[in-house]
């Protein structure tokens, strides 16, 4: 329907322009030379002019430039053929007008030199306007094509960005799914050993476990980021769970009040804490395990330090740490740094995450809150 309306609108514009031109030309010629022809005469000759105009602009010139290498002979040919046709059809129009007695002549009507030159001039005159119309249409067509290509390019960019975002979300969920089982399997092992000698401790362990697992399971519904304090609370619960079985456990978290409200992606801190418990030794009060938090210039630095267990290979937890780094890079970019080393049997991990702004938390006002 829109195409039909556009076509009618375009045709109406042409009709108006031709009407104004014909009215202008007939009046000017009539007033200057005091010559007014029969309306049928104007009708026949202007039909020839209009057909010539659109033939040359819509068929002749496009055919001439269809192959640029052949334009040097096609263009002169179409000009000559078009002008010859213009003169010939005007001659036929006059013969027809004589036949139906709209105009009269006293002698045989011939295709003489004067008639040819007069109509050649008019033909070149309208050919000039036809060429201008052709150039205008071609320019507008190229503009529309460029605009369509620009819109298509923009559409493809948006589509590609959406696809990449979906891939990132899918990969992020996959990495989180790889992390979650660690909490369950290791904590169940704690409960199993605890139940063997203390049912009350096992009961407390189950409560702690349910809180941690609820947090881990609900992490997919909390939004991209949550307050860091929510996860710190569950890290403390994880350490409390570990201490139920190992009473001589010395672990300390050091953070300032501003750390609690920082927006941060979930399950990162829990993974670091679980990695400490899995591979660390916490019975030496002189060498306490520590997690330190520092926030400066929109950069969060988390440092963990603990004695390395002599019975466990430090690099066995590399998969979990690699997954953590990938998740952080998806969210905060490749400037994220996660490095770890062993110095005098002390495992030290340093995580640096730039680009954490406080106002990001306001973007999560509609996200579900982390369970406490």
Looking at 3.30.1950.10, 3.20.20.140, 3.40.50.2300, 3.30.565.10, the CATH number of the domain 163-364 comes to: 3.30.565.10
Overall pTM > 0.85: no
Q: Read off the pLDDT of residues 347-366 as tens digits, 9 standing for 90 and up.
A: 999 999 998 887 544 344 33
What whole-number distance in Å separates Cα of residue 93 and Cα of residue 53? 16
Burial class (CB in 10 A: 0-12, 13-18, 19+), 158: exposed
101 contact partners, CB below 8 Å, separation of at least 6: none
Burial class of 116 by CB neighbour count within 10 A (0 to 12, 13 to 18, 19+): middle
What's the CA gap between 42 and 44, in Å, rounded? 6
Write down the pLDDT at residue 181.
60
**Which pLDDT belongs to residue 165?**
62
Q: Which residue ranges does the chain devote to CATH 3.30.565.10? A: 163-364
pLDDT beneath 70: ranges in the chain: 1-10, 68-71, 163-184, 186-187, 190, 193-194, 216-222, 245-248, 311-319, 359-372
Residues contacting residue 370 through CB under 8 Å, at least 6 positions apart? 215, 218, 222, 226, 227, 230, 231, 266
- Model confidence over 42-68: pLDDT tens digits? 899 999 999 999 999 999 989 888 776
At 176 the pLDDT is 52
Q: Which of 258, 272, 232 is nearest to 372 (CA)?
A: 232
**Is 156 in contact with 108 (CB distance < 8 Å)?**
no
């Amino acid at each position: 329907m829109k195409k039909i309306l556009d076509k009618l609108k375009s045709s109406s514009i042409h009709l108006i322009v031709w009407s104004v031109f014909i009215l202008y030309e007939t009046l000017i010629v009539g007033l200057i030379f005091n010559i007014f022809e029969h309306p049928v005469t104007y009708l026949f000759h202007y039909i020839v002019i209009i057909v010539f105009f659109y033939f040359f602009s819509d068929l002749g010139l496009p055919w001439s430039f269809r192959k640029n290498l052949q334009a040097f002979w096609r263009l002169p040919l179409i000009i000559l053929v078009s002008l010859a046709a213009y003169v010939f059809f005007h001659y036929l129009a006059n013969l027809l007008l004589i036949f139906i007695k709209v105009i009269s002549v006293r002698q045989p009507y011939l295709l003489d030199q004067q008639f040819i030159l007069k109509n050649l001039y008019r033909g070149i005159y309208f050919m000039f306007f036809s060429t201008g119309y052709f150039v205008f249409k071609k320019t507008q067509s190229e503009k529309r094509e460029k605009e369509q290509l620009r819109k298509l390019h923009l559409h493809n960019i948006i589509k590609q960005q959406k696809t990449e975002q979906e891939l990132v979300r899918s990969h992020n969920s996959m990495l989180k799914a790889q992390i979650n089982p660690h909490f369950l399997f290791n904590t169940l092992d704690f409960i199993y050993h605890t139940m063997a000698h203390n049912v009350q401790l096992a009961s407390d362990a189950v409560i702690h476990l349910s809180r941690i697992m609820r947090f881990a399971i609900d992490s997919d519904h909390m939004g991209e980021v949550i307050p860091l304090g929510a996860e710190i609370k569950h890290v403390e619960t994880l350490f409390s769970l570990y201490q139920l079985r190992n009473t001589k456990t010395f672990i300390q978290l050091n953070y300032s009040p501003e750390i609690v409200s920082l927006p941060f992606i979930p399950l990162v801190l829990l993974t670091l804490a679980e990695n400490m418990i899995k591979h660390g030794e916490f019975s030496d009060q002189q060498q306490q395990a520590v997690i330190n938090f520092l926030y400066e210039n929109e950069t969060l630095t988390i440092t963990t330090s603990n004695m390395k267990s002599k019975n466990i290979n430090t690099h066995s937890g590399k998969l979990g740490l690699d997954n953590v780094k990938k998740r952080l890079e998806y969210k905060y970019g490749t400037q994220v740094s996660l490095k770890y080393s062993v110095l005098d049997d002390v495992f030290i991990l340093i995580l640096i995450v730039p680009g954490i702004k406080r106002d990001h938390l306001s973007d999560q006002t509609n996200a579900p809150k982390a369970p406490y």
